[in-house]
């Protein structure tokens, strides 16, 4: 019997994004992860150091309508939902392209609920300095999903469109991307995010003033927050990052060495579970 032989099914069902809790770095407590498969919930931290096997059954279900689909679009949708839902539109990834105001939103009622609520522009350190946006209700989940070791909210705005326009300004000076391989190697040096905030706000002052003239003086508000720190349940980081692909190899696993972002780190390679949202899996020990 090998390490990957089935011993016990501990979770099964269609994958959802792992749920996260930040833990308490000051007390030596790392982020807590929960695998979500269908209706099942499994606390993953306790499996660190143990051999696990993740197997895709070959089935995929749309996370919105539940119908079976041969291929997943946009991390978990069938093609009709991907083409028809507002949450799958281009402006979700690029909020500066929001077209609600011209009357072409795919789902105006959904757009009112999702896009017209407070958003935060933040600096984070996942693989180096980056800028990002998130709904105010998604802190600190957004940062944990990115594997950030530090994060600092710097501006608050009233709508998703405004957050996208502010982010475009900042992307002139700082990346909005995470180098996932560097993030998973755990070799990220800490940054003085408060100093980076002050520098960037100073250099972006003219552009921010223009946006305030457009949307109102109080539409874009500076925040005076303290940077948050995050630690992750990792026994050992990989020196070389090899990625597992369920589409090519439906059965993967090994000794679970860590969890960071939405990745499981095995001694045989890493896998981004969020990429396989909607895939029906069995997890065995």
What are the tens digits of pLDDT across the range 76-99?
999 999 999 999 999 999 999 999
Per DSSP, the residues of 208-250 read HHHHHHHH-TTSEEE---PPEE----BS---SS--B--TTT-S
Q: Name the phi and psi angles at 258, rounded to 5.
A: 180, 170
What pLDDT was estimated at residue 57? Answer: 98
Domain range annotation of the chain: 9-77+232-284, 80-229
Distance, CA of 146 to CA of 141 (rounded, Å): 9
Which tokens go with 129?
A: 């300095």
What number of other Cβ atoms are within 10 A of residue 199's Cβ? Answer: 13
Residue ranges for the chain with pLDDT beneath 70:
1-6
pLDDT tens digit sequence for 57-67: 999 999 999 99
Q: Position of tokens 């407070």? A: 118
What pLDDT was estimated at residue 63? Answer: 96
The DSSP output letter for 189 is P
E runs forming strands in the chain: 9-21, 32-37, 40-43, 51-60, 119-125, 129-135, 150-157, 220-222, 228-229, 251-260, 263-266, 269-272, 279-284
Q: For residue 30, how many C-alpha atoms fall within 13 Å in the half-sphere facing its CB?
A: 17
Distance, CA of 138 to CA of 140 (rounded, Å): 6
What pLDDT was estimated at residue 23? Answer: 87
Check if the beta carbon of residue 16 is closer than 8 Å to that of residue 63.
yes
Cis amide bond preceding 187, omega within 30: no
Q: Position of tokens 């896998």? A: 271
Which tokens go with 175?
A: 């990346």
């Amino acid at each position: 019997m090998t390490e990957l032989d089935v011993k016990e099914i501990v979770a099964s069902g269609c994958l959802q994004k792992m749920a996260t809790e930040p833990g308490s770095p000051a007390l030596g407590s790392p982020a807590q992860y929960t695998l979500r498969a269908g209706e099942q919930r499994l606390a993953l931290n306790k499996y660190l150091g143990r051999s696990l096997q993740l197997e895709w059954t070959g089935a995929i279900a749309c996370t919105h309508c539940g119908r079976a689909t041969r291929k997943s679009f946009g991390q978990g949708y069938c093609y009709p939902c991907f083409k028809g839902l507002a949450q799958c539109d281009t402006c979700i990834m690029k909020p500066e392209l929001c077209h609600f105001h011209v009357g072409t939103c795919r789902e105006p009622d959904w757009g009112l609920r999702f896009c017209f609520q407070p958003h935060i522009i933040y600096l984070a350190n996942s693989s180096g300095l980056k800028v990002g946006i998130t709904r105010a209700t998604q802190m600190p989940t957004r940062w944990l999903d990115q594997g950030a070791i530090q994060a600092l909210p710097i501006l608050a705005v009233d709508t998703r469109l405004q957050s996208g326009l502010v982010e475009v300004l900042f992307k002139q000076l700082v990346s909005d991307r995470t180098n996932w391989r560097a993030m998973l190697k755990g070799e990220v040096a800490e940054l003085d995010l408060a100093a980076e905030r002050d520098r960037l706000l100073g250099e972006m002052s003219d552009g921010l003033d223009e946006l305030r003239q457009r949307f109102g003086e109080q539409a874009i508000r500076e925040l005076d927050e303290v940077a948050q720190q995050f630690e992750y349940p990792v026994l050992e980081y990989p020196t070389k990052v090899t990625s597992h692909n369920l589409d090519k190899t439906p059965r993967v696993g090994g000794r679970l060495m860590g969890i960071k972002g939405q990745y499981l780190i095995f001694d045989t390679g890493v896998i981004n579970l969020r990429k396989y949202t909607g895939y029906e899996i069995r997890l065995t020990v």
